[in-house]
Homo-oligomer: A and B are copies of this chain.
Amino acid sequence: MLAAVLQVRDGRLRVLLWQRARQPHQDRWSLPGGRLRADEDVETSIRRQLAEKVDVHTLSHVEQLAVFSAPDRVPGHRVVATAFLGLVPSDLDPAVPADTSWHPADDLPPTAFDHAGIVPAARDRLRAKLSYTNIGFALAPAEFTVSELRRIYSAALGYQIAATNLQRVLSRRGVLRATGRTVAAGPAGGRPPALFAFTSRDLQVTDPFAVLRPPT
C-alpha cells in the first residue's frame, strides 16, 4: 500500500516523501504507506498508513491508482503495492514528521524502489481529471478568488492557463458558485475580488465524453 499525496505548494505541484533512515535504499525518498491488515480494505488501510505521516483529515480526496507488482520491485520478501492518489488543499500546511517533506512532482529527489514511476502516474491521473471532473475542489481552499484558482490549476497542470478561460469552463459546468463574499480590500483600494467555492466536494464527472451517443 503506497500513496502519492499531491498538493499545490509554493506555486508547484508537490508530492509528500519521507527519507529512508536505513537500508535498503538508505537516504532515498519514499512514498508513505505500509502493510494491509486482515480487517481492512485497501482504502481504509492507506488512510491509516498515511495517518503516520500526515493528518488524514487534511486529505480532500483519495483514489486507487494502480497495482505495482514487478517481482523484484523491493529487495527481500515479495511485496505487491496497491498505489493511491491522495490530494491536500493548497491552503493547508499539515504537520509532518522530521523525515518527511514536499518535493516537486516533476523534479524528484533520488527515490526508493519503483516509487519514481508511481509519482508520474498519480500526477497524470490528476491532470486528466482536472479536465473532465470537478477534482479542483480537492486542490483548492474552501473559498478562493478566480486568480487564486488559476494559480492552483496552472501549477497542477504544469502550464499557465488564463483566468477568464478557467472561470468560463468551470461556470459552464456549474461546479463553481459565487459565495457573495469578497476578499478584504487591500491598502491599494479598488474593487475587492469576489470569493468563489466549489458547489460539491464529492468527485463528479462533469464532462462525460460520449462521442458515439445514441441517435436521438
A residues within 8 Å of B by Cβ? 36, 38-43, 64, 66-67, 69-71, 78, 80, 82, 128, 130-132, 153, 157, 159-162, 165-166, 169, 207, 209-215
Residues on B with beta carbons closer than 8 Å to the beta carbon of A153: 212
The residues of B that contact A132 with a CB separation of less than 8 Å are 209, 211
**Chain B residue with minimal CB distance to A41?**
B69
A75 vs B11: C-alpha distance when bound (angstroms): 49
Q: How many copies does the complex hold?
A: 2
CB distance from A136 to the nearest CB of B (A): 10
B161 touches A131 (CB 8 A): no
Most buried by B among A41, A160, A161: A41
Q: Given A39-B71, A41-B71, A64-B67, do A212 and B165 touch, yes or no (CB 8 Å)?
A: yes
Partner of A212, one of B36, B66, B130, B214: B130
- Whether the Cβ atoms of B160 and A215 lie closer than 8 Å is yes
A207 and B207 contact, CB distance less than 8 A? no
Besides the known contacts A169-B211, A207-B209, 19 further A-B residue pairs in the complex with CB atoms under 8 A apart: A36-B69, A36-B80, A38-B71, A39-B71, A41-B70, A64-B66, A128-B209, A130-B212, A132-B209, A132-B211, A157-B214, A159-B214, A160-B214, A160-B215, A161-B212, A161-B213, A161-B214, A165-B215, A166-B212
